[in-house]
C-alpha cells in the first residue's frame, strides 16, 4: 500500500485517524497537522491539534472532551490561579508534562517536527505526525474591528464572537515542514479530515507550497464533511462558514475546497445535496459519517480508503 496523507485539525480529524490506523499500516500514514492554533502559555509551547491526535492515537485522550488526557488532574493549574495567572485554558497536570518536554526540546534547538516525532515515539505512536510547518503560523480571528488570538476566540471567549475574517499570520513566509511535500508527491491517497475548513484546514492550505503540491498530486483528494444536516459535528464550523459568507452545509464545504477535491463523502442526512455537489465536478459518496465509536471510525476509514 502506498503513502496515505491526511490533512488534519483536532478532534474531528482524530476520530477518523483512530480508525485509519486500523486500516492503513501506521508507517504509511502521514498526518499533516494544523499548528495555527498553537499558543504559548506560562512560557510553554502548546500545540493543541498535534496533541489531540497524538493522545488519541496513543489511547490516552479524554474521550468525553476529545482533548486533554483521560483522568488528568488540575493541581498545577489551580495553584497557578492562586499565584495570579489566568487559567481559562484547561491544562491538566499530565498534559503539562508534554508541554514542558516539548518546550525543552525546542529550547535545545529541535524543530517542532523533530520534537513531535520524538514525543510520538515516546508514546509508541507509529504514524508520521508532521506539523504543517516548523515556522510559526498563527490563526487570528477578526470580529468587526477586533483581532483575537485563536485560543482567545475559541476557548477564552467560547466562540461567542462573529467571525468576519481570518488571518493565517506567518503563512506567507512559512515553509512546509520536512517530509510534507515528499509525502504528498508520493501519496496514493490524500484525505481532508472532517475538520473545520476555515479554522483547521485552511491554515495548512495557506502555506503555498502545500496547496501547490496538492493541486499537482495525482492521488485522489478525498474530503469528509464536518457538517451534517447544516450543523457542525463539533465546534463552530457551521457558524464560522455562515458568517464568512459560505453556505453552512456539506455543499458549502465542498464548494470551499472546490477544485482541490476529487471526491467528497457526505452523510446520509445530506443525500439531497449529492447532485449539487456533483455539479461542482466532485464525485460524492453518501454514508453514515457520524463517528460515535471506534467501530464507526474504522467503518468510515474503510470507505475513505475505497473511494477513488
Ligand atoms: N478546548 C477547550 O474548549 N477548552 C480548553 O480549556 C481546552 C484546553 C486544551 C488543553 C490542551 C489541548 O491540547 C487542547 C485544549 N483544548 C481546549 C482544545 C483545543 O484548544 C481546541 O479544540 C483546538 O485548538 C481546536 O482544534
| Ligand 1 center–CA 271 separation, angstroms | 32
The three-state (H, E, C) secondary structure of 16-81, written as one string? HHHHHHHHCCHHHEEEEECCCCCEEECCEEECHHHHHHHHHHHCCECCCCCCCECCCCCHHHHHHH
pLDDT in tens, 127-179: 999 999 999 999 999 999 999 999 999 999 999 999 999 999 999 999 999 99
Residues 219 and 284 in one domain: yes
Relative to beta strand 138-143, strand 165-169 is: antiparallel
Same-domain pairing of 147 and 186: no
For ligand 1, the distance from its centroid to the CA atom of residue 70, given in whole angstroms, is 14
Boundary of a domain, candidates 130, 149, 169? 169
With beta carbons less than 8 A apart as the criterion, state whether 91 and 79 touch. Answer: no
Task: Determine whether the shortest distance from the Cβ of 90 to ligand 1 is under 6 A.
Answer: yes
Clarify whether residues 59 and 192 are in a common domain: yes
Q: Is the CB of 91 under 6 A from ligand 1?
A: yes
Q: Which helix (H) or strand (E) holds 90?
A: none
Q: Which domain holds residue 152?
A: 140-169
Task: Tell me how far apart the alpha carbons of residues 284 and 266 are, in angstroms, rounded to a whole number.
Answer: 7
Exposure letters 182-198 (e unless 16+ CB within 10 A, then b): ebbeebebbbbbbbbbb
pTM for this structure? 0.97
Mutation choice for ligand 1 from 9, 46, 94, 155, CB with most ligand atoms inside 8 A: 155
CA of 90 to the centre of ligand 1 (A): 7
Angle between helices 11-23 and 48-58 (to 10 degrees): 40
The pLDDT > 70 percentage for the chain reads: 100
Please tell me the residue having the least CA distance from ligand 1 atom 1: 155
Overall domain count for the chain: 2
CATH number at residue 26: 3.40.50.10680
- 91 and 150 belong to one structural domain: no
User: What percent of the chain is modeled with pLDDT above 90?
Assistant: 99
Same domain, 258 and 276: yes
pLDDT at 1 over 80: no
Q: What is the pLDDT of residue 62?
A: 98
Residues making up the chain, counted from first to last: 308
pLDDT of residue 220: 96
164 shares its domain with 239: no
CA–centroid distance, 260 to ligand 1, in Å, is 29
> What pLDDT does 118 receive?
98
**Residue ending a domain, choose from 169, 190, 213:** 169
Residues 147 and 187 in one domain: no
Please work out whether the CB of residue 10 comes within 6 Å of at least one atom of ligand 1.
Answer: yes
* Same domain membership, residue 276 and residue 247: yes
Please check the confidence at residue 280 and state whether its pLDDT lies above 80: yes
Distance from residue 22's CA to the centre of ligand 1 (Å)? 26
What is the mean pLDDT of the segment spanning 97-105?
A: 98
pLDDT at 2: 87
Q: 10, 195 in Cβ contact below 8 A?
A: yes
Distance 47 CA to ligand 1 centre (A): 9
Q: What is the pLDDT of residues 173-199, one digit of tens each?
A: 999 999 999 999 999 999 999 999 999
Q: Do 88 and 184 share a structural domain?
A: yes
Looking at the structure, do residues 230 and 285 belong to the same domain, yes or no? yes
Atom 13 (ligand 1): residue with closest C-alpha? 48
252 and 162 in a common domain: no
136 backbone φψ class: left, alpha, beta (φ>0; ψ -120 to 50):
beta
Amino acid at each position: 500500500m502506498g503513502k496515505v496523507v491526511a490533512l488534519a485539525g483536532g478532534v474531528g480529524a482524530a476520530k477518523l485517524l483512530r480508525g485509519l490506523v486500523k486500516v492503513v499500516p501506521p508507517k504509511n500514514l502521514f498526518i499533516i497537522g494544523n499548528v495555527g492554533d498553537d499558543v504559548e502559555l506560562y512560557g510553554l509551547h502548546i500545540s493543541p491539534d498535534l496533541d489531540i491526535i497524538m493522545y488519541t492515537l496513543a489511547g490516552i485522550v479524554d474521550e468525553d472532551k476529545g482533548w486533554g488526557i483521560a483522568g488528568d488532574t488540575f493541581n498545577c493549574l489551580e495553584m497557578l490561579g492562586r499565584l495570579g495567572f489566568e487559567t481559562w485554558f484547561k491544562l491538566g497536570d499530565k498534559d503539562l508534562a508534554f508541554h514542558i518536554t516539548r518546550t525543552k526540546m525546542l529550547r535545545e534547538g529541535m524543530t517542532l517536527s523533530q520534537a513531535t516525532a520524538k514525543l510520538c515515539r515516546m508514546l509508541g505512536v507509529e504514524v508520521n505526525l508532521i506539523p504543517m510547518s516548523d515556522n510559526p503560523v498563527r490563526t487570528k480571528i477578526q470580529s468587526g474591528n477586533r483581532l483575537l488570538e485563536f485560543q482567545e476566540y475559541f476557548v477564552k471567549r467560547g466562540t461567542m464572537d462573529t467571525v468576519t475574517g481570518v488571518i493565517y499570520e506567518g503563512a506567507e513566509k512559512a515553509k512546509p515542514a520536512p517530509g510534507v511535500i515528499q509525502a504528498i508527491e508520493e501519496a496514493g491517497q490524500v484525505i481532508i479530515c472532517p475538520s473545520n475548513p476555515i479554522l483547521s484546514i485552511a491554515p495548512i492550505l495557506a502555506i503555498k507550497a502545500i496547496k501547490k503540491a496538492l493541486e499537482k498530486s495525482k492521488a485522489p483528494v478525498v474530503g469528509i464533511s464536518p457538517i451534517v444536516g447544516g450543523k457542525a459535528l463539533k465546534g463552530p464550523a457551521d457558524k464560522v462558514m455562515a458568517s464568512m459568507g459560505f453556505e453552512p452545509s456539506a455543499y458549502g464545504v465542498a464548494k470551499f475546497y472546490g477544485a482541490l477535491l476529487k471526491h467528497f463523502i457526505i452523510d446520509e442526512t445530506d443525500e439531497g445535496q449529492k447532485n449539487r455537489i456533483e455539479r461542482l465536478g466532485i464525485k460524492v459518496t453518501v454514508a453514515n459519517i457520524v463517528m460515535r465509536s471506534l467501530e464507526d471510525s474504522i467503518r468510515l476509514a474503510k470507505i475513505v480508503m475505497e473511494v477513488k
